[in-house]
Structure 1
Amino acid sequence: MPTTQRMSIPDVDADAYKAVLGLEKYVHSGSLDEQLLSIVKTRASQINHCAWCLDMHIEEARKAGVEQRKLDLIAAWSEAGALFDGREQAALAFTEQVTLISQDGVTDDVWSAVRGVFDEKETLTLLMAIAAINVWNRMNVTARTDLPAQPATAG
C-alpha cells in the first residue's frame, strides 16, 4: 500500500485538530494516570494500524514510566498474565471493544469489569480517552500522516 501523505490536516485547517484537542484536554484533566492513558492509546492505535499515533504514545508511555516489557506485550495483554494489573486489563478489554464497536458492541462482562475497578467518573474519562484516540487514528490513517523524523510528542 502506498504511504504517500494525502493531506496535512493542520495545514488545511488547524481548527480540525483544535476540536479534538479539546477532548484530549478533558481526558487529561481527569484522574486517570498517564501510564494507563498511554497504554490505552497504544492499544487502540495498534488495532487501527496508526503508526503516527503509535510512535507518539509509545514515547509518552516511556516518559510516563511504563516498563519496556509491558510496552512490548500490549498487543498480547490478555495472554501476559499478571504483567498488566486489573485496572489495565479492564481498560484494555474496554479499549478493544469500543475501538471495534461494530463487531459486538461492549459486552456486559467487559462493562462490569470496567465498573468493578473504575468509578463512574473514571469510566466516563476512560470512554472519552478511547473515543479521542480513535478520532486521532482515523484522521491520521485516512490522511496517511507522515511519521516525523523523530518520535512525535503530544501537544
Structure 2
Amino acid sequence: MSTERMPNPAVLIPEAMAALTAVNRAIAGAGVDGRLLALSHLRASQINGCGPCVAGGAHQARQHGATADQVDALAAWRETPWFSDEERAALALTEAVTRLADRPDPVPDEVWDVAATHFDQQELAALLLNIAITNAFNRLNAPTRQQAGKW
C-alpha cells in the first residue's frame, strides 16, 4: 500500500477547502436528489481511482437511499437492471465529463440530449458542478495518495 505524500492540498489551504465546501453546499441545495449526486460522485471517483472519494461516495449513496445492488454494481451500471433512465442519463454524463480527453467530442450530443430530457438547466448545472467538484477532489487526493478511511 502506498503512503500519503502530503496532506490534501485543500486542507493545507483552509480558504480553498472552505470554497470547495461552499460549492458542495450550493450543489446540495439545487434540487437534485442526493442519491443521484452521490452515485455520480462515486462513479467519477471510481474512474479516477480516488480511494477516499470512492469510500465516501459509497457511504453517501447508501445514506441517501441507494440500494446495495446499485452501490456494488455501479461500475457496470449499463449491464444491470438497478438504475432508472434518469440515473443512467446522469451516469453517462458523469462518465463523459470525467473522461473529457478520451474522445474527439468529449460530451457527445447523444449523451447531452438524453440528460437534457431528464434534467432542466438548473439540474444540469448542479450535475455538472457535482461532476467538476468530484473531479477536483479526485485530482487533489490521487496525486497525494490520500488513503480511504483516514478522516
Q: Name the residue aligned to 1:54.
A: 54
Provide the rounded CA distance (Å) in 1 between the counterparts of 2:83 and 2:127.
Answer: 17
- Percent identity reads 34
Q: Name the residue aligned to 2:27.
A: 27
Q: Which moved more, 1:124-133 or 1:21-30?
A: 21-30
Provide the rounded CA distance (Å) in 1 between the counterparts of 2:128 and 2:134.
Answer: 10
How far apart are 1:118 and its partner, in Å?
0.6
Q: Name the residue aligned to 2:78.
A: 78
Provide the rounded CA distance (Å) in 1 between the counterparts of 2:33 and 2:91.
Answer: 14
Provide the rounded CA distance (Å) in 2 between the counterparts of 1:10 and 1:47.
Answer: 21
User: What amino acid is aligned across from residue 97 of structure 2 in structure 1?
Assistant: V
How far apart are 1:19 and its partner, in Å?
2.1
Three-state SS of the structure 2 residue aligned to 1:142 is coil
User: What amino acid is aligned across from residue 58 of structure 1 in structure 2?
Assistant: A
Q: Which runs of 4+ in 1 moved over 2 A?
A: 9-12, 146-149
Query: Deviation string for 1:27-76 (max 9, x for gaps)?
Result: 11111111101100000000000010011110111111111011111000
Provide the rounded CA distance (Å) in 2 between the counterparts of 1:26 and 1:20.
Answer: 10
Three-state SS of the structure 2 residue aligned to 1:143 is coil
Q: Name the residue aligned to 1:98.
A: 97
Q: Name the residue aligned to 1:143.
A: 144
Provide the rounded CA distance (Å) in 1 between the counterparts of 2:149 and 2:61.
Answer: 18
Provide the rounded CA distance (Å) in 1 between the counterparts of 2:41 and 2:11.
Answer: 24
Q: Which moved more, 1:10-19 or 1:25-34?
A: 10-19
Provide the rounded CA distance (Å) in 2 between the counterparts of 1:78 and 1:60.
Answer: 21
Q: Name the residue aligned to 1:119.
A: 120
Gaps in structure 1 of 5+ consecutive residues: none
How far apart are 1:11 and its partner, in Å?
4.9
User: What amino acid is aligned across from residue 141 of structure 1 in structure 2?
Assistant: A
How far apart are 1:10 and its partner, in Å?
4.8
Gaps in structure 2 of 5+ consecutive residues: none
Provide the rounded CA distance (Å) in 2 between the counterparts of 1:125 and 1:146.
Answer: 27
Count of matched residue positions in the alignment of Structure 1 and Structure 2: 148
Three-state SS of the structure 2 residue aligned to 1:136 is helix
- CA RMSD after TM alignment: 1.4
How far apart are 1:120 and its partner, in Å?
1.1
Query: Deviation string for 1:109-134 (max 9, x for gaps)?
Result: 00000001111111111111100100
How far apart are 1:147 and its partner, in Å?
2.4
